[in-house]
Amino acid sequence: MEANRLEVKEVKRKEPECTAIRSSSYKNKPLKDYHIIAEKYRVLNEFKNVVIGVITGAVMLVNGWIEVDSKAGQLLVALGMVILVTLLMHCTDEILNEQVD
């Protein structure tokens, strides 16, 4: 009866070798100069949009073109104009960039 006994051993499965679908070499490559320059121009362009918005809001506030009774209301409207002009300039830049590409 002991001759018919089977010994249970731990089964080790061989793991399949994985092949990379996508190359990982892009992670090791440094950024090209034109990528760095393009990023600097993008940041500078966003800064330009904010500056133009601030100038527009300040000119409207100084010249009295905002007709609100309280000073806080005038500042709030001027801030709204800054945000609006900045967003409009950003959207215009995005549209122009899509047409160039």
Assess whether pLDDT exceeds 90 at residue 89.
Answer: yes
Q: What is the pLDDT of residue 78?
A: 95
Residue range 29-38: average pLDDT? 82
Assess whether pLDDT exceeds 60 at residue 1.
Answer: no
Q: What is the pLDDT of residue 71?
A: 94
Assess whether pLDDT exceeds 80 at residue 86.
Answer: yes
Tell me whether residue 46 is in a domain.
yes
Q: What total number of domains does the chain contain?
A: 1
Instruction: Render pLDDT for 35-73 as a digit per residue (tens, 0 to 9).
Output: 888 889 989 999 999 999 999 999 999 999 999 999 999
Tell me whether residue 48 is in a domain.
yes
Residue for token pair 């990982």:
24
Range of the domain at 65: 30-100
Tell me whether residue 94 is in a domain.
yes
